[in-house]
Each structure stands twice: as structure tokens, then as C-alpha cells.
Amino acid sequence: MVTDVCLNRVCWKKPCRGCAEKGGPGPGGVYWPNDLSFSGKISWCWSASAVADDGAQAWHINFYNGRVFNPNVKDEHAVRCVRR
């Protein structure tokens, strides 16, 4: 499982690729908390975490089904601004 503890590509394993589509706790079954609003298409969004063992890739997540993947940083995907 990809976590803050392990951001290497070897931490991504097929059994952890995602959950049931629209099976999350958020509005309409998406995978973000109810207190975060979202408008627009449910899609892949970049995370703030680079793939530790490959500087040309970064982690992103699909909020529709909870899947994570590590595409090239030159690929176009959505972003979300959040505060900690």
C-alpha cells in the first residue's frame, strides 16, 4: 500500500489498486470526506507525493474508486487545493 512511510513504486501492489466504484464515504460514494466539497468530474488528481525511486513519476489517486497510480509528471491530470 502506498503511504507516507513508503512512496517507492514497490509499495504499489495490485490487491491495493482500489475499492468498489462509488463505494466510499463521501457524497455519491466518492472517496473523500463529506466535509470536502467538490464540483466537476470525478477524476484522477495529483497527490503532493513524488514516487521516491523515480523522479519522473508522481502518485495520483482516482477519487471515483480509490485507485492510486504513478504516471509521468508530464501527464495532464487534475489537482485539488487542500489545507492541512
Q: What percent of the chain has pLDDT over 70?
A: 70
CA distance 32 to 52: 24
- The answer to whether residue 81 is domain-embedded is no
**pLDDT value, residue 13:** 64
Q: Residue 4 above 80 pLDDT?
A: no
Global pTM?
Answer: 0.65
Q: Residue 2 above 60 pLDDT?
A: no
- The answer to whether residue 26 is domain-embedded is yes
Where in the sequence is the domain holding 55, given as residue range(s)? 9-69
Average predicted confidence (pLDDT) for the chain: 76
- The answer to whether residue 82 is domain-embedded is no
For 56, other C-beta atoms within 10 Å of its C-beta total 11
- The answer to whether residue 78 is domain-embedded is no
Structural domain tally of the chain? 1
